[in-house]
Structure 1
Amino acid sequence: MPGDMSYTTEEISKLLKISKLTVYDLIKKGELSSYRVGKQMRVDAADLEAYKQRARTKTNANRPDGANQPLRSLPSASINAIRPIVITGHDIGLDILAKHMEKHIAGIRPLRSFVGSLDSLISMYRGESDIVSTHLLDGDTGEYNLPYIRRLLVGSSYIVVNLLSRNAGLYVEQGNPLQLEHWTDLSRQGLRFVNREKGSGARVLLDEQLRLHGINPGQLDGYDNEQTNHLGVASKVASGEADVGVGIEKAASIVGQLDFIPLIRERYDLVMLKSTENQAWIHSVLQILQSMEFKQELQTISGYDLSRTGEILLETLEPSF
């Protein structure tokens, strides 16, 4: 193989005849060396051959007859009997969910992927994630998440369940010296803004509010100044590097030294694809979400509304197999 050849995770999946989730798990555990190019993981041909050689050695060492036969394929069960479950999103509630899943569901290993709401749904469409979190506002209907899910997961069978609700709004300087109170205030001249990245729920919320209130994004000084999480936006405002940003209340309480102006109650939901192999752990996840043990732990975090936690909001028909 040429020394400069490399493969995507999808190509590795096809070459080894294993799922993409298993490829990500091998990378996560350090068994398969990789590097990132933009948003894409790549594996050099030499590293793939090194992994295959180690797998051959391990397989042959375990043969009773010591036969040295070529390794034709690596089914996921032979590499690791534990099924990786990829959970996307940034909220700490997802970390708590992952901990409860690891404790109560045998045969799975939760893996966290820190990507925004829209990118999470796209990753599910591509088969790269198992549980995605989303808080995407549809400005025309005022509905959260379901309009986007229906459009992006056309033809899929899935279940949508509420994790929590929380306040979203504006981060402003402590004492709110500029008296910012509403989305329309973002049209003021001279405001220094800090934004979230494209695909995040906060970015969609901002863009929808700008559209609904007739504000051109080009009017915002700092619209292209992006941070990859709520804490980053809140920190820029707290440090005085920006006058205002959009995010959730929890991040303001963590960062401190700034004020939070609540403007909307957003619903933070989970989406899980229904399939024969997923049904068992999906049922267990629903039991966790609806359990008092899980809700009591979430209740220790200020700013969360758990009145609908565990409620199934939408479930499509069973897939036919």
Structure 2
Amino acid sequence: MTSDISYTTEEIAKLLKISKLTVYDLIKKGDLPAYRVGKQMRVDASDLEAYKTRAKSGHPAVQKTEVTEQPPRMESPLLSSSNRSLVITGQDFSLDILAGHIEKRVPGYRPLRSYVGSLDSLISMYKGESDIVSTHLLDGDTGEYNLPYIRKLLVGSSYIVVNLISRTAGLYVQRGNPKQLSGWSDFKQPGLRIANREKGSGARVLLDEQLRLHGIAPQGIGGYEDEETNHMSVAGKVASGEADVGVGIEKAANLVGGIDFIPLIQERYDLVMLRKPENREWIDQVKHILQSEAFQGELRFIQGYDLSKTGRVLFET
């Protein structure tokens, strides 16, 4: 029966042929009722059909006068329909830990995770589709992380930038480093095969900026056009011998095994939040979480994380 069927946000995105961020935006605005099962958000088939019916009639928003005969869902207070969703973008594990603390310590809000890259995260914030975005984008001309991109993409907006972590980025190479790679200039080496990241990810921007600064044409690198969506996949391609090198963070190299890691740069992984009057309360609470011993204690023993700036406000308009 339809009443027994529910969908994940990924399944909803495929069914409606929209992005997952748009699905989160519909949930955030209350147009698409959702609830949490474990760490997943789910939408009942009946609610999806009701939304599609409203959309076809030209009124996709939930009408306040709408009456339903369905019994109310039994949800925890944290998941009640009166709570506002906070969409958190990014792929690092530290964001999942942060979401857990927000769920416990920020009443009236429920965190939703969206696993997209740094550039797409900032674009989603500009479009009003996300609330807390993570970014680690290197500007090769200045050597500065994040702020040059934030200033350009969020022009006209008031925002605050807070450090989440710093972490080491570099090269994944096959065990024993048979190609004898040691730095960015080695991408000139003929016949080199790379496992690359998707456009807009911090690792892809890091690679492209370094290739530009070193005068290396990316089209001459085997596998450059083939894209993976996370650090683990890149490391796995190198470990399996399908690629000679990949760009990523140290933590993934330790988890995958069978490869060596060459550290090249310490990247700053920051959070961006828009300074709107309605956001002021939860922004202050998120800052307190980032600076708390409870949160930092969970991160402290994860190899590859530097917490020396965690919770520090780096910039605010």
- Please state which band the TM-score falls in when normalised by the shorter chain: 0.7 to 0.9
Q: Percent identity?
A: 61
Preserved CA contact (<8 Å) 1:249 1:303: yes
Q: How many residues are paired up? A: 281
- 2:67 aligns with one of 57, 82, 85: 57
How far apart are 1:307 and its partner, in Å?
0.2
- Give matches, 1:150-189, under 5 Å: 150-189=151-190
Q: What does residue 30 of structure 1 align with?
A: 43
3-state SS in 1 of match to 2:276: coil
CA distance in structure 2 between the aligned counterparts of 1:267 and 1:29, rounded to whole angstroms: 33
CA deviation map 1:177-222 (0-9, x unaligned): 1110000101111111110000100000000000000000111100
Q: What does residue 130 of structure 1 align with?
A: 131
Q: What does residue 246 of structure 2 align with?
A: 245
Preserved CA contact (<8 Å) 1:7 1:44: no
- Code of the residue aligned with 2:30 in structure 1: it is T
How far apart are 1:46 and its partner, in Å?
7.4
How far apart are 1:51 and its partner, in Å?
9.9
Structure 1's 238 and 277: CA in aligned 2 closer, same or farther, altered over 3 A? same
Q: What does residue 307 of structure 1 align with?
A: 308
Q: What does residue 221 of structure 1 align with?
A: 222
CA distance in structure 1 between the aligned counterparts of 2:71 and 2:114, rounded to whole angstroms: 35
Structure 1's 52 and 284: CA in aligned 2 closer, same or farther, altered over 3 A? closer
Preserved CA contact (<8 Å) 2:196 2:228: yes
3-state SS in 2 of match to 1:288: helix
3-state SS in 1 of match to 2:30: helix
Return the TM-score normalized by structure 1.
Answer: 0.81
- Code of the residue aligned with 1:56 in structure 2: it is E
- Give matches, 1:83-94, under 5 Å: 83-94=84-95
Which runs of 5 or more residues in structure 1 are unaligned?
1-5, 35-42, 63-78, 317-321
3-state SS in 2 of match to 1:166: strand
Structure 1's 285 and 203: CA in aligned 2 closer, same or farther, altered over 3 A? same
Task: Report the RMSD for the aligned CA atoms in angstroms.
Answer: 2.9
Would you say 1:256 and 2:264 are equivalent positions? no
Which runs of 5 or more residues in structure 2 are unaligned?
1-15, 36-40, 73-79
- Code of the residue aligned with 1:152 in structure 2: it is L
CA distance in structure 1 between the aligned counterparts of 2:189 and 2:141, rounded to whole angstroms: 24
CA distance in structure 1 between the aligned counterparts of 2:137 and 2:107, rounded to whole angstroms: 32
Return the TM-score normalized by structure 2.
Answer: 0.82
Structure 1's 180 and 148: CA in aligned 2 closer, same or farther, altered over 3 A? same
3-state SS in 2 of match to 1:268: strand
CA deviation map 1:248-280 (0-9, x unaligned): 111111111101101100000000001111110
3-state SS in 2 of match to 1:30: strand
Preserved CA contact (<8 Å) 2:31 2:61: no
CA distance in structure 2 between the aligned counterparts of 1:315 and 1:303, rounded to whole angstroms: 27
Preserved CA contact (<8 Å) 1:158 1:315: yes
- Code of the residue aligned with 1:22 in structure 2: it is G
3-state SS in 2 of match to 1:261: strand
CA distance in structure 1 between the aligned counterparts of 2:32 and 2:130, rounded to whole angstroms: 10
CA distance in structure 1 between the aligned counterparts of 2:280 and 2:184, rounded to whole angstroms: 42
CA distance in structure 1 between the aligned counterparts of 2:315 and 2:138, rounded to whole angstroms: 16
